[in-house]
Amino acid sequence: MAVRLEDYREVAPPGAVDFLYRLSERVKGTSMLNVNSTKYGGGVAEILHRLIPMLNEVGVQARWEVIQGADEFYACTKAFHNALQGTEQAITQKMLDAYVETNRENAKRLLLDANVMLIHDPQPAALIDYRTVGKWIWRCHIDASQPVRRVWNFIRQYVVKYDAAVFSLPRFAQRLPISQFLVYPSIDPLSDKNRDLTEAEVDAHLGRLNVPRDKPILLQVSRFDRFKDPVGVIRAYRLVKKHNDCRLVLAGGGAADDPEGKAVLAEVQAAAGEDPDIHALELPPDAHLAINALQRAATIVLQKSTKEGFGLTVAEAMWKGKPVIGGAAGGITAQIIYDVTGYTVNSVEGAAFRIRHLLNNPDVREKMGQDAKEYVRQSFLITRHLRDYLTLMYAVVNSG
């Protein structure tokens, strides 16, 4: 059954739904096209799957298209992603040519005719060269604060042609001659990944995954990506295991536009070795209920990223009432209030110390989980995201 805006009254902050109805009157009838690089896998696709129907419900004519390309295009854009987060990459002229040509081919295929064009991340950024109508906004979900400069300069030549740019945190942004906006990503509390589950449902999903609930579960949910530091999580678990009996679950998969996932999974499996209490689960992109169940069964959730865009798995876990230990990177620091909803750490040893502290203090763990859920309700639900996009549309459409 389709979820309606009215269904969020019970989970969103008081007055949020009524405010959305009033705000939507300002942009009713406006057309909006979102373009990104994958329909499944990753936070951007998850958000769009939920936001597009909500935008249409309040009167915005919203569509979503996906840019298509060959392997060389995705190799190039993955290198862009890493370089924008500060890691030097080998990007050849042939790769850049494939990027430009892929955008040109997609511009001919896609109907780029909305009042507001919201173009997500570097993959489709060059579509701006084929602009004919509307206001164009570049939505960057990446921490671009300290990029490899030559790669940023290549992307920047397209970004400066947009009417505005949107970043997830102020420090992610770069100096640009266009308007810039801040929009946090969000989670949908009524989606399969976040809705309430019974204990029987949780047990059934964990049974299918062969994850027993016989001891405390440490969990990290993320793509198998080196920036997520899954091998570092295994090292922290091994330090904890010397003192506290527990189980580690690393649950993830790949996104369609990420060619490195298989190699990182192999590294994780090698680091895990024959330990029966380490579970490296390769999940399909639609394993939302399984992830929900794992997060609800977990004692402590980790997101030990060394680089991060926003890291919505933190908000997902907090919504289930779990304290989170995360790397001091990207949007994790906006979601975790230190010593209130969890802890940020900078090392394997720091992660192990905080894990042991929470395992040994269940009352602290419980209070942190309660505070974490309320913080997500106020700041990171999809109703707030819808409000921000409606406000963005109004501001951009009515700008000079």
The Cα–Cα gap between 251 and 298 comes to: 12
Element spanning 353, H or E: helix 348-359
Which pLDDT does position 330 carry in this prediction? 87
Domain 199-379 has CATH 3.30.930.10: no
Q: 5-186+381-397 and 199-379: same fold?
A: yes
**Does residue 286 carry a pLDDT above 90?**
no
Collapse the DSSP code of 136 into the 3-class scheme (helix H, G, I; strand E, B; otherwise coil) and give the result: strand
Q: Which residues contact 395 (CB under 8 A, 6 or more apart)?
A: 181
Here the tokens at position 220 are 């990290």
Per-residue confidence band for 400, with pLDDT thresholds at 50, 70 and 90: low
Which pLDDT does position 371 carry in this prediction? 98
**Does residue 399 carry a pLDDT above 90?**
no
What average pLDDT does this structure show over 345-372? 98
Q: How far is CA 192 from CA 50, 53, 161, 399, in A?
A: 11, 16, 38, 38
**Does residue 41 carry a pLDDT above 80?**
no
The CATH topology of domain 5-186+381-397 is Rossmann fold (3.40.50)
Q: How far is CA 307 from CA 60, 115, 257, 344, in A?
A: 35, 34, 18, 13
How do residues 294-349 score in pLDDT, each as one tens digit?
Answer: 999 999 999 999 988 888 999 999 999 999 999 999 899 999 999 999 999 999 99
Per-residue confidence band for 93, with pLDDT thresholds at 50, 70 and 90: very high
pTM attached to this predicted model: 0.89
Q: Looking at the DSSP assignment, which residues form a beta bridge with residue 165? A: 138, 180
Q: Looking at the DSSP assignment, which residues form a beta bridge with residue 278? A: 248
**Does residue 88 carry a pLDDT above 80?**
yes
What percent of the chain lies above the pLDDT cut of 90?
Answer: 87
* Domain extent listing, the chain: 5-186+381-397, 199-379
Q: How far is CA 296 from CA 57, 220, 234, 276, in A?
A: 31, 12, 21, 21
Phi then psi for residue 248, to 5 deg, are -115, 130
How do residues 137-169 score in pLDDT, each as one tens digit?
Answer: 999 998 899 999 999 999 999 999 999 999 999
Q: Looking at the DSSP assignment, which residues form a beta bridge with residue 61? A: 31
The Cα–Cα gap between 395 and 116 comes to: 11
Here the tokens at position 366 are 């419980």
How do residues 228-258 score in pLDDT, each as one tens digit?
Answer: 999 999 999 999 999 999 999 999 875 555 6
Phi then psi for residue 263, to 5 deg, are -65, -40
